Structure 1
Amino acid sequence: MGVTRLEIDLKALQHNYTYLRSKLSKNVKMMGVVKAFGYGSDACEVALLLEELGIDYFAVAYAYEGKALRKAGVKSRILVLHPQPDNFHMIIKHCLEPSLYSPRVFKGFSAFAKAQHQQNYPVHLKFNTGLNRLGFWENDTQWILEQLKETHAIKVTSIFSHLAASEDLKEQEFTKNQIARFTKIASTLLNSLDYTPFLHQSNTSAIINYPEAQFDMVRTGIGLYGYGNTPEEDAKLQPVSSLKSVISQIHTIEPGETVGYNRAYKASDYQKTATIPIGHADGISRAYGNGVGYVTIHGKKAPIIGNVCMDMLMVNVTDINCKEGDEVVIFDKHVSAVDVSATIHSISYELLTAVSQRVKRVILR
């Protein structure tokens, strides 16, 4: 196709959705996490297909992400995981559902909903059971119950928490303690309310490793996009995104010549280099430079040489039979984002979500 592009395979998305659904007990709902542009892909295209397939709920990080889904025509319920008071108006205007995770946010949204003449506006209570990032503490439950008795502006739709290490089987004891803590918190609240919010705590890895903790709903993000946090599960999923580019120009350089900014690479002998139109402004970190990372050309690894530039990078293609205009793969179904990101001691999540919005998205239906 001749340009740097991110191909988004909706057939792979459907496969992943079906596979993850097969892991769930009957009547357990599924929430699709489409924050960060759908993990770097295209949140609106992803959400519209998942809605068609029968997803029960969506989750985004921020209100403006939910607004974008609504503008694209997504009608399903949307949980905003990290709402900010400045965006409460946007949340109500677009029928989004906020996570209330602290007394400040609880009181602020409750007051705002009341001022907007809302009745039983759906909210979700987030509890901290060990991740220590966002969430109420267990000893906040009585305060929450007292607050709920004083208002009709909001009504709790769900109670949830987030596991810290469900992918790490060395942390089974910690994870099981988190599940037990959440069960205890939820029981306290459910026993005191005259209605029944639903419960959710599992992420993708927990769907696989802790089927006993599915509760009423599970949340899946990375799994939908083709990664299961273990090689065994990765083999059963299909990567949705493929990042590709082309060779713009090929150079032959002599011994002692240097490549790129700060002359970071020096040739030891006659070498052939290729320049590719993708750089750190497109999501390829400078950390991949100087022989750390690589791209794949005709199935062969071409190490990145010198510093990654803003709009391009250079690779050593001395031992690869290639020409200008040939396709270059950064990651795809065969070149795992897990393996590429591991070269800089990172994770697939970071590489996927780092792909800049200036990179052309190509939807494969």
Structure 2
Amino acid sequence: MVTKIKDWNVMELVCTLLPPLLLVDVVLLLYYLSVYPENCNSYHGPHSTDCLIAIWEEVDCKVEGYRYPNNLTTVDRDSLKTSNLAAVRENMEGVKSAADGGNDDHQLNCYGIVFPDNCDTYYGPHSVECLTTIWEWKGCLGEGTKAPVKLETNETEALDLLSVEQVLDNFELIQVEAHGGNKVKGLECYGIVYPENCHSYHGPHSIDCLITIWKEVDCKVKGYRFPGNLTTADADAMKSLNLTAIRGNMESVKSAADGGNDDHQLNCYGYVLPENCTTYYGPHSVECLTTIWELKGCLSEGTKAPVKLDTLEKDILDLLNVNKVLDNFETVQMKAASGDDDKELECYGLGLFLYF
């Protein structure tokens, strides 16, 4: 409804004569006398709920806000309905201003949410700190390829066009799809591609998923903590961890084993590394090879005793892991013990034949 002000000279005179403190009220009065908000039919009221909603939306508070007119108690709504339009707008703008100023209660009243930490406004542009808070709040990780700090300029600008609530929804969708097994979203959210047989980041995971990670970490089937060897309780506990935690657990076993921890060598490889052998993989020291050589029953007099090997032969052994070196030297000894003349020479040397 539109009401025309006919005598503008009179109104100008009134504005000139009134104290300055009342000038704002006069301007508001002129506005509401000239153009009422949609669904509002008078300045003083009583107003309809639809009129209150129209002003609420003009102020730019949201339907989700706790003080959205339809969410008010009957007493509070009736109080607004009997206020003049300027007072109604002032009330709602006060809520909006306090919300944008950081007041948690009025953020709930206006928008229906409390802004996440580091988020100062409902609308963009949003700081990287604000986006990171929301990203992590929704369960994604800094390692994710779409973590806010890693975004390109155009991607950040696209997020700046969204409200805080829309950013929350956007990041939640990424996490939900990642958790549901979407490998692309898993990479975006968590920074990893799901290993074979693993279908979500958080689990619960299958035993085949655990075995895949165990093998990727490069522990062995013979290891005491090979997933198939775990107790039901230990396996269930592992299945309920996220993929990063599972890999971290298994890598710590591997690291401790390679650092010389006997228990974790058993857990990872299924046996304790021979004395003087500090790693599972080569290159191997002559002292390590000699320990294995003698452990398998061959002698330093043997023509293939480690200390007598040429560079090429040593390089070949360095391509093997400790377990394969053990198998290799055991094969030499077994053939020697069964009467193979060449292997007897390699394992025991000439001195043995002279003795007999």
TM-score band, normalised by shorter chain: under 0.3
Larger RCO, structures 1/2 (Cα 8 Å, 6+ apart): 1
**Structure 1 or 2: more strand by fraction:** 1
Q: TM-score w.r.t. structure 1 length?
A: 0.20
| Greater C-alpha radius of gyration | 2
Higher percent of residues as helix: 2
